[in-house]
């Protein structure tokens, strides 16, 4: 009973292993010369089980397949020093070589994997002939489902201008796959490329997104009918460990799409890229080395996840012209090429907001992105775009640049806030949603900063805005002055201010002098009146005789007033009695002289002040 259970479990394990592993593949026929050698390459799925399992080469007979050589080190006695098997588990291939061929070596052989002949195997016919040349053998291509194959064909320089083509052999003939005239078979549309190589007469064909039904014999050739051909044997196996993702992607006008491209993370790759398929080739749009075609700047990005073996392409602001076939491709020791079809359908983008925003240096700015209810539980993010990625910004907290990412769940908006916009903030910003490490929709916003400092070859740093221009939001940009010019501007201002300050101070000083003299005259006249009232106590500074002499020489009492305008001093003030003095009546002429004395002094002062002001005016005009 225990023995039966053991047999059952062993059969179950063997069945499971066979289910995991897929078919082995090799050449259908190989030909060698008598005394020569043949080499057989046998391909197998690169799984952990297959890498460590036994590989073998056996010759079929009526009842069984007798082992000739195996990876365990066994060699049949009749084939000692004639047969050899080398395994390359990292590449999923083992190579069998048979030398010193004899006619009796002809027959059917199998290359296989496992401990018995009932495991994975592939039948190979070995033909041994006497005469040369040997017929050309088909090139073998062993590719996993969803992968790609690259076929190189070379027919020499004499066929450089001939039609080049690839077709697939079938029961009714060779069905067209692609040619240099632009013909593409319907099953291969969007996933087949034909490009001429540098060597004249040579060309390369790439078929992507392979399916099991693509397995078969292909002919690449030159010319229209017949001509030279070369056989290609393609085998597509099922059970790949690398996921493929959908082949058809749908997007709406003005919206975005995120496409995941898969590759083997164990490989070494020089570059990864995304190109758009055309009848005569594939136009690069973005590459992992930083290249982005100009039409897609700010609108496309590549995210590479080496751990999971995926790179994601995100395209924004979709247009009708974006529809078509695209290829995600890798170049390296494990090349992988997959085709995707993008369809533009009717609908509205999920994320909405302004796509063009103008900002001013030093002013605050808020970018807002609205999302529908279906994205309520998704992760939201803002990032700043560059040609290699879109750098995420810190969420829900302020970073060193003064940018804040905020989310309002009630209004279903999340925003990016700038405390003070700087010149370096100009560029493309994306808002987006993601879930479980997979990117969803995104919205690209172009921020243009005005009032930024530009550098020119001749003038150094200059301001690129009209400083008198109204920004439209109530903010007027301030002058942006470079540090190396700020000192020069300050010195010019100081020089100009000093030139203006001298006459201003002179005028102010003159006015103060006039006021002081006017006050002195006023006081003088007041004192003079006191002299008239109390002549015995005070004396005037100017003698009465001097006034009389001036009168005799024809001088006016006041150059600005006629005699008829003079005010006569009289009344009760003319006679005042002071204690201890003799009361005296002042002659009218003497009283009139006191008035004249003050008027003449006042007139002289006004003339001198007028002359000073005219001299300063003349000096200012000369300078």
Verify that 183 and 94 share a domain, yes or no.
Answer: no
Number of structural domains in the chain? 5
Rounded CA-CA distance 97/84 in Å is: 5
List beta partners, residue 221. 165, 229
- Answer for the pair 42, 70: CB distance below 8 angstroms, yes or no: no
List, in order, residues 6 or more apart from 413 with CB less than 8 Å away. Answer: 368, 369, 370, 371, 407
Rounded CA-CA distance 141/214 in Å is: 11
Q: Confirm whether 479 is domain-assigned.
A: no
Q: What is the phi-psi region of residue 571: left when phi exceeds 0, alpha when psi lies from -120 to 50, beta otherwise?
A: left
> Phi and psi for 484 in degrees, rounded to 5?
-75, -10
Q: Are strands 379-385 and 390-392 parallel, antiparallel or unpaired?
A: antiparallel
Rounded CA-CA distance 405/380 in Å is: 10
DSSP 252-270: ETT--EEEEEE--TTS-EE
Of 175, 203, 237, which residue constitutes the final position of a domain? Answer: 237
Alpha-carbon Rg for the chain, nearest whole angstrom, is 52
Residue 375 sits in a domain of what CATH number?
Answer: 2.60.40.10
Range of the domain at 143: 139-237
Verify that 278 and 389 share a domain, yes or no.
Answer: no
Verify that 360 and 431 share a domain, yes or no.
Answer: yes
CA atoms 461, 464, 470, 475: torsion sign:
negative
- Answer for the pair 271, 335: CB distance below 8 angstroms, yes or no: no
Q: Confirm whether 466 is domain-assigned.
A: no
Helix-, strand-, coil-residue percentages of the chain, each rounded to 5: 25, 40, 40
Please state, rounded to an integer, the average pLDDT across all residues of the chain. 74
Q: Confirm whether 7 is domain-assigned.
A: no
pLDDT digits (tens, 9 = 90+) for 360-404: 999 999 999 999 988 988 999 999 999 888 888 865 444 445 677
Verify that 535 and 595 share a domain, yes or no.
Answer: yes
Lowest mean pLDDT among 294-308, 480-494, 518-532, 589-603: 480-494
Verify that 144 and 125 share a domain, yes or no.
Answer: no
Tokens representing residue 563 in the block: 């005699």
CA atoms 156, 162, 166, 170: torsion sign:
negative
Q: Confirm whether 481 is domain-assigned.
A: no
Verify that 447 and 503 share a domain, yes or no.
Answer: no
Verify that 222 and 274 share a domain, yes or no.
Answer: no
pLDDT at 412: 87
Q: Confirm whether 151 is domain-assigned.
A: yes
- Answer for the pair 40, 26: CB distance below 8 angstroms, yes or no: yes
CB-count exposure of residue 455 (10 Å: 0-12, 13-18, 19+): exposed
Q: Confirm whether 336 is domain-assigned.
A: yes
Q: Which residue has the higher pLDDT, 117 or 270?
A: 270
Residue 479 pLDDT greater than 60, yes or no: no
Verify that 614 and 514 share a domain, yes or no.
Answer: yes
pLDDT digits (tens, 9 = 90+) for 2-50: 444 333 334 433 333 333 334 789 999 999 999 999 999 999 987 888 8
Q: Confirm whether 5 is domain-assigned.
A: no
Rounded CA-CA distance 251/542 in Å is: 109
Task: Report how far apart, in Å, the C-alpha atoms of 330 and of each of 43, 147, 313, 390 are.
Answer: 22, 11, 13, 21
pLDDT at 322: 94
617: pLDDT confidence band, cut at 50, 70 and 90? low
Rounded CA-CA distance 203/166 in Å is: 10
Residue 473 pLDDT greater than 50, yes or no: no
Question: If you search the block for the tokens 């043949």, which residue do you land on?
Answer: 38
pLDDT at 51: 84
Verify that 106 and 54 share a domain, yes or no.
Answer: yes
List, in order, residues 6 or more apart from 441 with CB less than 8 Å away. Answer: 255, 256, 258, 349, 350, 351, 375, 432, 433
- Answer for the pair 29, 109: CB distance below 8 angstroms, yes or no: no
Verify that 409 and 321 share a domain, yes or no.
Answer: no
Residue 84 pLDDT greater than 60, yes or no: yes
Tokens representing residue 140 in the block: 């073998």
Q: Confirm whether 134 is domain-assigned.
A: no
pLDDT at 147: 78
Verify that 430 and 540 share a domain, yes or no.
Answer: no
Q: Interior CA angle at 342 toward 338 and 348, to 5°?
A: 145
Verify that 449 and 547 share a domain, yes or no.
Answer: no
Tokens representing residue 392 in the block: 């995420």
Of 94, 129, 164, which residue constitutes the final position of a domain? Answer: 129
Of 184, 218, 237, which residue constitutes the final position of a domain? Answer: 237
């Amino acid at each position: 009973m225990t023995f039966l259970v053991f047999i059952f479990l062993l059969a179950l394990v063997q069945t499971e292993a066979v289910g995991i592993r897929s078919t082995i593949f090799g050449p259908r026929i190989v030909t060698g010369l008598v005394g020569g050698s043949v080499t057989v390459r046998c391909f197998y799925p690169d799984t952990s089980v297959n890498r460590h399992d036994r590989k073998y080469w056996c010759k079929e007979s009526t009842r069984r397949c007798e082992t000739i050589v195996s990876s365990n080190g066994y060699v049949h006695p009749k084939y000692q020093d004639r047969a050899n098997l080398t395994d390359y588990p990292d590449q999923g291939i083992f190579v069998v070589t048979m030398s010193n061929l004899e006619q009796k070596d002809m027959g059917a052989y199998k290359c296989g994997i496992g401990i018995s002949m009932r495991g994975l195997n592939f039948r190979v016919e070995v033909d041994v002939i006497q005469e040369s040349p040997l017929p050309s053998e088909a090139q073998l291509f062993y590719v996993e489902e969803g992968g790609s194959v690259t076929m190189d064909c070379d027919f020499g320089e004499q066929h450089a201008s001939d039609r080049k083509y690839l077709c697939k052999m079938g029961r009714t003939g060779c069905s067209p796959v692609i040619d240099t005239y632009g013909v593409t078979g319907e099953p291969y549309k969007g996933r087949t490329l034909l490009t001429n190589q540098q060597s004249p007469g040579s060309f390369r064909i790439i078929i992507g997104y392979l399916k099991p039904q693509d397995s078969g014999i292909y002919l690449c050739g030159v010319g229209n009918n017949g001509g030279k051909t070369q056989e290609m044997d393609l085998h597509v196996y099922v059970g790949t460990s690398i996921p493929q993702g959908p082949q058809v992607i749908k997007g709406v006008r003005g919206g975005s799409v995120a496409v995941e491209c898969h590759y083997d993370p164990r490989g070494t790759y020089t570059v990864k890229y995304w190109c758009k398929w055309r009848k005569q080739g594939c136009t690069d749009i973005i590459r992992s080395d930083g290249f982005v075609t100009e039409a897609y700047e700010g609108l496309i990005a590549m995210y590479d996840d080496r751990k999971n073996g995926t790179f994601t392409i995100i395209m924004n602001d979709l247009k009708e012209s974006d529809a078509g076939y695209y290829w995600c491709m890798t170049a390296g020791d494990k090349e992988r090429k997959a085709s995707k079809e993008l369809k533009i359908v009717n609908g509205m983008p999920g994320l909405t907001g302004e796509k063009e925003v103008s900002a001013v240096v030093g002013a605050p700015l808020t970018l807002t992105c609205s999302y529908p209810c279906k994205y309520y539980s998704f992760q939201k993010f803002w990032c700043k775009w560059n040609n290699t990625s879109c750098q995420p910004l810190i969420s829900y907290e302020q970073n060193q640049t003064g940018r804040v990412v905020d989310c309002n769940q009630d209004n279903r908006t999340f925003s990016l806030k700038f405390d003070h916009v700087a010149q370096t903030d100009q560029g493309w910003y994306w808002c987006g949603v993601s879930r479980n490490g997979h990117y969803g929709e995104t919205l690209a916003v172009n921020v243009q900063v005005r009032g930024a400092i530009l550098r020119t070859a001749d003038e150094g740093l200059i301001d690129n805005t009209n400083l008198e221009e109204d920004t439209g939001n109530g903010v007027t940009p301030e002058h942006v002055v470079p540090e190396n010019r700020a000192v020069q501007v300050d010195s010019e201002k100081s020089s100009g201010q000093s030139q203006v300050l001298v006459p201003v101070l002179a005028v102010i000083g003159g006015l103060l002098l006039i006021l002081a003299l006017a006050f002195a005259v006023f006081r003088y006249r007041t004192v003079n009146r006191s002299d008239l009232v109390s002549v015995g106590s005070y004396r005037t500074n100017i003698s009465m005789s001097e006034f009389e002499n001036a009168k005799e020489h024809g001088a006016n009492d006041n150059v600005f007033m006629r005699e008829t305008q003079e005010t006569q001093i009289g009344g009760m003030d003319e006679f005042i009695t002071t204690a201890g003095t003799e009361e005296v009546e002042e002659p009218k002429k003497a009283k009139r002289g006191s008035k004249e004395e003050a008027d003449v002094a006042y007139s002289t002062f006004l003339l001198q002040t007028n002359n000073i002001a005219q001299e300063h005016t003349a000096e200012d005009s000369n300078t």
